[in-house]
Amino acid sequence: MRYRDEMRKMGVAEIYWRDYTPLPTWRTPTMEGSPPEYDLYLTSYKLIEFKQSRASQIPLLAELAPKQRLEINPKTAKARAIGDGEEVWVESHNAVTGETRRVKVAARHSESMRPDTVGMPHHYGEVARHPWVEGQGPTPNTLFFTGEGYVTNTQDQSFHVKVRVYKA
Protein backbone atom coordinates (compact mmCIF):
# COMPACT_ATOMS: atom_id res chain seq x y z
CA MET A 1 0.00 0.00 0.00
CA ARG A 2 2.76 2.36 0.90
CA TYR A 3 4.33 1.67 -2.46
CA ARG A 4 1.14 2.63 -4.27
CA ASP A 5 0.86 5.82 -2.24
CA GLU A 6 4.45 6.76 -2.96
CA MET A 7 3.92 6.19 -6.63
CA ARG A 8 0.68 8.21 -6.66
CA LYS A 9 2.51 11.06 -4.95
CA MET A 10 5.02 11.03 -7.78
CA GLY A 11 2.19 11.35 -10.23
CA VAL A 12 2.21 7.80 -11.51
CA ALA A 13 -1.10 7.03 -13.10
CA GLU A 14 -1.03 3.28 -13.20
CA ILE A 15 0.77 0.43 -11.57
CA TYR A 16 2.23 -2.07 -13.95
CA TRP A 17 0.36 -5.05 -12.58
CA ARG A 18 0.85 -6.86 -15.84
CA ASP A 19 4.56 -7.21 -15.04
CA TYR A 20 3.69 -9.58 -12.21
CA THR A 21 3.32 -12.67 -14.35
CA PRO A 22 4.63 -16.20 -13.95
CA LEU A 23 5.32 -16.41 -17.66
CA PRO A 24 7.39 -13.96 -19.65
CA THR A 25 5.44 -11.31 -21.49
CA TRP A 26 6.55 -8.49 -23.67
CA ARG A 27 5.39 -4.90 -23.60
CA THR A 28 6.82 -1.78 -25.12
CA PRO A 29 9.70 -0.68 -22.86
CA THR A 30 8.79 2.22 -20.59
CA MET A 31 11.50 4.38 -22.05
CA GLU A 32 9.81 4.46 -25.43
CA GLY A 33 7.15 6.59 -23.85
CA SER A 34 9.53 9.52 -23.52
CA PRO A 35 9.04 12.41 -25.93
CA PRO A 36 10.82 12.10 -29.29
CA GLU A 37 13.55 14.63 -28.51
CA TYR A 38 15.02 12.02 -26.18
CA ASP A 39 16.31 10.09 -29.12
CA LEU A 40 19.34 8.16 -27.89
CA TYR A 41 19.45 5.00 -25.83
CA LEU A 42 21.76 5.08 -22.84
CA THR A 43 23.73 1.97 -22.07
CA SER A 44 26.11 1.51 -19.20
CA TYR A 45 28.84 -1.00 -18.74
CA LYS A 46 31.84 -1.81 -16.64
CA LEU A 47 35.49 -1.17 -17.37
CA ILE A 48 38.12 -3.85 -17.06
CA GLU A 49 40.47 -1.56 -15.15
CA PHE A 50 38.08 -1.31 -12.23
CA LYS A 51 36.78 -4.84 -12.32
CA GLN A 52 38.17 -5.68 -8.94
CA SER A 53 38.15 -2.32 -7.20
CA ARG A 54 34.63 -1.44 -8.35
CA ALA A 55 35.27 2.24 -7.81
CA SER A 56 38.02 4.45 -9.11
CA GLN A 57 39.82 5.47 -5.95
CA ILE A 58 43.00 3.44 -6.44
CA PRO A 59 45.42 5.85 -8.10
CA LEU A 60 47.38 3.20 -9.97
CA LEU A 61 44.26 1.94 -11.67
CA ALA A 62 42.77 5.37 -12.09
CA GLU A 63 45.85 6.32 -14.08
CA LEU A 64 44.78 3.84 -16.76
CA ALA A 65 41.27 5.26 -17.08
CA PRO A 66 41.41 8.66 -15.49
CA LYS A 67 38.12 10.28 -16.37
CA GLN A 68 34.53 9.50 -17.04
CA ARG A 69 33.47 9.70 -20.68
CA LEU A 70 30.37 9.39 -22.83
CA GLU A 71 31.05 7.12 -25.78
CA ILE A 72 29.19 8.41 -28.79
CA ASN A 73 29.23 7.49 -32.46
CA PRO A 74 31.06 10.17 -34.46
CA LYS A 75 28.20 10.66 -36.89
CA THR A 76 25.76 11.14 -34.07
CA ALA A 77 28.16 13.57 -32.46
CA LYS A 78 28.66 15.50 -35.67
CA ALA A 79 24.91 15.93 -36.05
CA ARG A 80 24.91 17.60 -32.66
CA ALA A 81 28.15 19.53 -33.31
CA ILE A 82 29.92 17.75 -30.49
CA GLY A 83 33.66 17.41 -30.90
CA ASP A 84 35.85 14.73 -29.41
CA GLY A 85 36.51 15.54 -25.77
CA GLU A 86 33.96 18.30 -25.44
CA GLU A 87 31.80 18.59 -22.35
CA VAL A 88 28.15 17.71 -22.93
CA TRP A 89 24.96 17.42 -20.91
CA VAL A 90 23.28 14.05 -20.92
CA GLU A 91 19.66 14.36 -19.94
CA SER A 92 17.35 11.45 -19.24
CA HIS A 93 13.57 11.48 -18.97
CA ASN A 94 11.24 9.48 -16.84
CA ALA A 95 8.35 8.56 -19.12
CA VAL A 96 6.09 7.79 -16.17
CA THR A 97 6.61 10.78 -13.88
CA GLY A 98 8.02 13.27 -16.38
CA GLU A 99 11.11 13.95 -14.25
CA THR A 100 14.37 14.75 -16.01
CA ARG A 101 17.85 14.35 -14.68
CA ARG A 102 21.10 15.39 -16.26
CA VAL A 103 24.87 15.12 -15.79
CA LYS A 104 27.78 16.85 -17.42
CA VAL A 105 30.46 14.62 -18.91
CA ALA A 106 33.14 14.69 -21.60
CA ALA A 107 32.16 13.05 -24.88
CA ARG A 108 34.44 10.61 -26.64
CA HIS A 109 33.97 9.63 -30.26
CA SER A 110 33.87 5.89 -30.78
CA GLU A 111 33.04 4.11 -34.01
CA SER A 112 32.18 1.08 -31.95
CA MET A 113 28.97 2.62 -30.60
CA ARG A 114 25.73 2.24 -32.48
CA PRO A 115 24.57 5.54 -33.96
CA ASP A 116 21.42 5.49 -31.89
CA THR A 117 23.12 4.70 -28.59
CA VAL A 118 25.49 6.39 -26.17
CA GLY A 119 27.40 4.61 -23.44
CA MET A 120 28.80 5.57 -20.08
CA PRO A 121 30.80 3.27 -17.84
CA HIS A 122 30.23 2.82 -14.14
CA HIS A 123 32.89 3.00 -11.42
CA TYR A 124 33.22 6.76 -11.35
CA GLY A 125 31.08 9.17 -9.48
CA GLU A 126 30.65 10.92 -6.23
CA VAL A 127 28.75 8.02 -4.75
CA ALA A 128 32.13 6.50 -4.04
CA ARG A 129 32.55 9.34 -1.54
CA HIS A 130 36.29 9.02 -1.50
CA PRO A 131 38.49 12.09 -1.48
CA TRP A 132 40.74 10.66 -4.17
CA VAL A 133 37.97 10.39 -6.78
CA GLU A 134 37.23 14.06 -6.96
CA GLY A 135 37.09 15.45 -10.44
CA GLN A 136 36.82 12.12 -12.21
CA GLY A 137 33.26 12.55 -13.42
CA PRO A 138 29.65 11.56 -12.75
CA THR A 139 28.06 8.16 -12.50
CA PRO A 140 25.39 6.98 -14.97
CA ASN A 141 23.37 5.81 -12.00
CA THR A 142 22.22 9.39 -11.63
CA LEU A 143 20.43 9.10 -14.93
CA PHE A 144 18.56 5.91 -14.20
CA PHE A 145 15.28 5.94 -12.36
CA THR A 146 13.58 3.74 -9.84
CA GLY A 147 9.90 3.58 -9.42
CA GLU A 148 7.17 2.29 -11.60
CA GLY A 149 8.14 1.23 -15.02
CA TYR A 150 11.82 1.38 -14.24
CA VAL A 151 12.13 -1.20 -11.52
CA THR A 152 11.96 -4.84 -12.47
CA ASN A 153 9.64 -6.93 -10.46
CA THR A 154 10.45 -9.92 -12.50
CA GLN A 155 13.59 -10.57 -14.42
CA ASP A 156 12.21 -9.71 -17.83
CA GLN A 157 11.97 -5.96 -17.77
CA SER A 158 14.46 -3.34 -18.84
CA PHE A 159 15.09 -0.18 -16.87
CA HIS A 160 16.96 1.69 -19.51
CA VAL A 161 16.25 5.29 -20.27
CA LYS A 162 16.30 7.41 -23.34
CA VAL A 163 18.46 10.47 -23.23
CA ARG A 164 19.24 13.52 -25.22
CA VAL A 165 22.74 14.86 -25.54
CA TYR A 166 23.59 18.47 -26.12
CA LYS A 167 26.62 20.70 -25.84
CA ALA A 168 27.42 22.15 -22.45
Partner 1 sequence: MARYGMVVDLDRCVGCRACMEACKVENNTPRANLWMYVFRFEEGEYPDTKVWFMPRPCMHCDNAPCVKVCPVGARYKRQDGLVATDWERCIGCRFCEVACPYGVNYFNWKSPSKSYYLDWGDKDLSGVTGGDSPPYRNPDLDRPYGQEQRRIAGGGRVKGVIEKCTFCVQRVEKGLLPACVAACPTFTLRFGDLDDPNSVVSRLLQRKRSFRLLEEAGTQATRILRGRSSAGRGSAADRRGESEGMSVGTRVEGLPYGIARFTFGWLLLIGFLLALVGLGVYAYALQYSEGEVVTGMRDIGTMGGAPWGLYITMVIYFVGVSFAGITVAALIRILNLERLRPVSRMAELLTVIALILAALSILADLGQPLRGIVNLFLYARPQSPFFGTFTLVISGYLFASQVYLYLDGRRDAAICARTPSRLQWLYRLWAAGYRDTQAERRRHARASFWLAIAIVPLLFTAHSTLGFVFGLQVGRPGWFSALQAPGFVVMAGVSGVGLLIVIAAILRRVLSERERLNLAVFRWLGNFLMVLTITYLYFMAVELITATYIGSQSEVHLMDVALRGDYAWLYWLSVVSMAIPVALLFIQFVLRRHRIGLIVLSGALVNMAAVGKRILIVVPSQTHGTLLPYLPGSYSPTWVEYSVIAGLLGLGMSLYVLFMKVFPIMEVPKRAEGVR
Q: How far is the CB of 76 from partner 1 (least distance, A)?
A: 10
Segment interacting with partner 1, rule: CB under 8 A, options 4-12, 98-106, 110-118, 156-164: 110-118
Residue 168 interacts with partner 1 (CB under 8 A)? Answer: no
7 or 61, CB closer to partner 1? 61
Residue 79 interacts with partner 1 (CB under 8 A)? Answer: no
Query: How long, in residues, is the chain?
Result: 168
Segment interacting with partner 1, rule: CB under 8 A, options 12-20, 25-33, 108-116, 140-148: 108-116
Q: Which residues contact 128 (CB under 8 A, 6 or more apart)?
A: 55, 56, 57
Q: How far is the CB of 136 from partner 1 (least distance, A)?
A: 15
Site for partner 1 in 53-72 (CB under 8 A): 59-61, 63-64
Residue 49 interacts with partner 1 (CB under 8 A)? Answer: yes
Q: How far is the CB of 69 from partner 1 (least distance, A)?
A: 13
Residue 114 interacts with partner 1 (CB under 8 A)? Answer: yes
Cα–Cα distance, 123 to 131 (Å, whole number): 15
Q: Return left, alpha or beta for 63; rule: phi > 0 is left, psi -120 to 50 is alpha, else beta.
A: alpha
Instruction: Among 111, 129, 135, 146, indicate the residue that binds partner 1 (CB under 8 A).
Output: 111
Pair 62, 136: CB distance under 8 Å: yes
Residue 48 interacts with partner 1 (CB under 8 A)? Answer: yes
Pair 89, 168: CB distance under 8 Å: yes
Cα–Cα distance, 40 to 165 (Å, whole number): 8
Task: Please calculate the CA angle 150-152-153 and round it to the nearest 5 degrees.
Answer: 135
Distance of CA 120 to the CA centre of its chain: 7
Q: Which residues bind partner 1 (CB under 8 A)?
A: 48-49, 59-61, 63-64, 73, 75, 110-115
